[in-house]
Amino acid sequence: MKSLGIIGAGNMGRAIGLGVKKKNPQREISFFDIDREKAREAAAQCEAQSRDTLSALFENSEILLIAVKPQQLDELFAQLPRSAADKGYISIAAGVPIERFRQALGTDRVVRFMPNLAATVGASVVAVASREAADSGLKEESWQIASAIGQPIDLPERLLSAFTGLSGSGLAYVFAFIHALALGGTDAGIAYQDSLEIALGTVDGAVKLLQRQASHPQEALSRVCSAGGTTIRGVKELERGAFAYTVMEAVRAAADRADELERG
């Protein structure tokens, strides 16, 4: 189990630190942030070490997880040693390809993560992408780290933009649907807060049904729609509003925007 150094003590860096420490209490974790107080707070929260300098973090970490904003990378690359054969790197920087890290750091030992905000509650789907040149040991360690904040999914790097449109941005679509469902309940006479609680429970139940029965969503949909009943009448209205098409277009639009950002 390799020591982990987290560069960036923001929400995502902290969420990963907490998840890793909870799953593997023996793993050594260190934080560095240009805001030293922020790094100290994250370290205290995660029962980890706080390093005052990037060089100290580098010296005391076998894997470095880069959790800074993409616009901060050039400054970071200028401070990190090149071609450190004993180090592995994990990046959660959106829109920054592995090739940029390879050129800046002189190593193929780079893995990309694409988590979403659900990582803060240990429930993110995490895309994990690497090149063939990345050694199996780093890939295994990366998988363990990703599984500490949710469900890792192995994807080729070329599909990360699609993943962003589906999962990274997907939380927002689900939030919007839940809010709309609650508004519908309010329109039908139930107070909004009660409607929201009902909507949350309904969505949770639907997810559990699909997971436990391993059924296709369309099959599950047909089972709950009785002929001439209330549910099919509601589904008809969803179709009138092009519900499926609208959601598909939202995923495509977000994926296209992710592609634009990656191309610079």
User: Tokens 């107080």 correspond to what residue?
Assistant: 37
Task: List the CATH code of the domain at 168-263.
Answer: 1.10.3730.10
pLDDT of 58 strictly over 90:
yes
- Range(s) within the chain of domains with CATH label 1.10.3730.10: 168-263
* Segment 75-130, tens digit of pLDDT: 999 998 886 778 999 999 988 999 999 999 999 999 999 999 999 999 999 999 99
Could you give the CA distance from residue 170 to residue 101 in angstroms, rounded to a whole number? 27
Q: How far apart are the first and last CA of the chain?
A: 36
* Segment 168-216, tens digit of pLDDT: 999 999 999 999 999 999 999 999 999 999 999 999 999 999 999 978 9
The pLDDT of residue 78 is 92
Could you give the CA distance from residue 78 to residue 26 in angstroms, rounded to a whole number? 32
pLDDT of 145 strictly over 90:
yes
Could you give the CA distance from residue 132 to residue 136 in angstroms, rounded to a whole number? 9
The pLDDT of residue 86 is 83
- Range(s) within the chain of domains with CATH label 3.40.50.720: 4-156
The pLDDT of residue 264 is 72
Query: Class of the 4-156 domain?
Result: alpha beta
The pLDDT of residue 254 is 96
Could you give the CA distance from residue 124 to residue 127 in angstroms, rounded to a whole number? 9
% the chain with pLDDT above 70: 100
Q: Are strands 124-130 and 150-154 parallel, antiparallel or unpaired?
A: parallel
What is the rounded average pLDDT for all residues in the chain? 94
State the pLDDT confidence band at 253, using cuts at 50, 70 and 90: very high
